[in-house]
Homo-oligomer: A and B are copies of this chain.
Amino acid sequence: MNIYDVSEKAGVSIATVSRVINGSANVSSKTREKVLAVMEELGYTPNVFARGLGLNTMNTIGIMCADSSDPFLANAVYYLEQNLRKNGYDSFLCCTGYELSTKQNYLKLLLSKRVDAIILVGSNFLEAAKKDNQYMIDAANEVPVMLINGYLAHPNIYCTLCDDYQAVYDGTIRLIEAGYRRPLFLYCSRSYSALQKLSGFRDALSASGLPAPEESVCLCANDIAQTKELLCSLKGRGLVFDAVFGAEDSLAVGAVKYAREQGLRIPEEFAVVGYNNSMLAVCSEPELTSIDNHVETLSITTVSTLMRVLGGNDVPNKTTISNELVVRGTARL
């Protein structure tokens, strides 16, 4: 079943059938209807490979994310897929894990599949060492590369980020102003985004004239139970803190569990702020005060930016979305 079958049955040439398929104006409406009728009758579908061979595109976007079961990434993937489809693009999904070499391989693989663009979701794609980001630059030489929550200045790389630095800075200031003088910052990755948050926290301490000892920030595992244990042991070792700002909601939930175990009243004696405003925030008891980074907006913006890029428009390389502090029970700010 191919274009020849249709053309034969419709009594026209394959060129005409092709024109109908591609909505060319140069077809008489009578011919068009005849052809459409035959296509319908035969249940004809153009062969995407033959089509791709000529056009060298299959209207497909490669999406890479480290782990699509992470709630933030899962949401992003969902919104991306939906919006890409609205624009007539399909999505090739790649869950790369967190290892550099794997990411590099998968990116090459996507390119070899002739995707029209690549979207990298999550700041974990940005490596600390500059040369380790070369693979993204190489990719950008072939197709547009979109970064969600990461920033890399290079032609044909377009970044959409939420202002993590500012969000944590502002949130920390509000914690301090609310009377929590010894906030502790927890994070669980050295990604671009995590480091931004970290800076925001440190700068807020400085700006408030509070001491910012090394112990006021702590790297930990992205796990509720382990976070609780960590906090217990920190407390056991004499560290004093009256609030926890988690770089992820899961860390914040761990802090809530810690407070409960220690018999600390939330939010009177102990405050907790999370990040992402995920389902965990409303699951927690009390519910988490958390920063919403507007995943949906982030995703929609990325797609619309990409569409403009593919349309040949001139587009800014960096778009920043502001976050929002959602106040709930763990911190009345």
Contacts and interface: CB of A to CB of B under 8 A. Distances in A.
A282 B225 contact: yes
Contact of A68 (B47, B81, B85): B81
A140 to B, nearest CB: 16
A52 interface: yes
Contacts of A250: 279, 283
How many of these chains are in the complex?
2
A111 B44 CA distance: 12
A71 interface: yes
A129 interface: no
B69 A71 contact: yes
B91 A92 contact: yes
A67 B52 CA distance: 29
B45 A112 contact: yes
Interface in A40-97: 45-50, 52-53, 56, 58, 63, 67-69, 71, 74-75, 77-78, 81-82, 85, 90-95
Interface residues of A, number: 46
Interface majority SS (helix, strand, loop, mixed), chain A: helix
Contacts of A260: 285
Contacts of A69: 71, 74-75, 77-78
A255 to B, nearest CB: 12
A74 to B, nearest CB: 4
B280 A48 contact: no
A333 interface: no
A114 B53 CA distance: 14
Given A47-B53, A85-B94, A90-B113, 20 more contacts: A45-B111, A45-B112, A48-B52, A49-B53, A49-B56, A68-B74, A68-B77, A68-B78, A68-B81, A69-B71, A69-B77, A71-B279, A91-B92, A91-B93, A224-B283, A250-B283, A279-B279, A283-B284, A284-B285, A285-B285
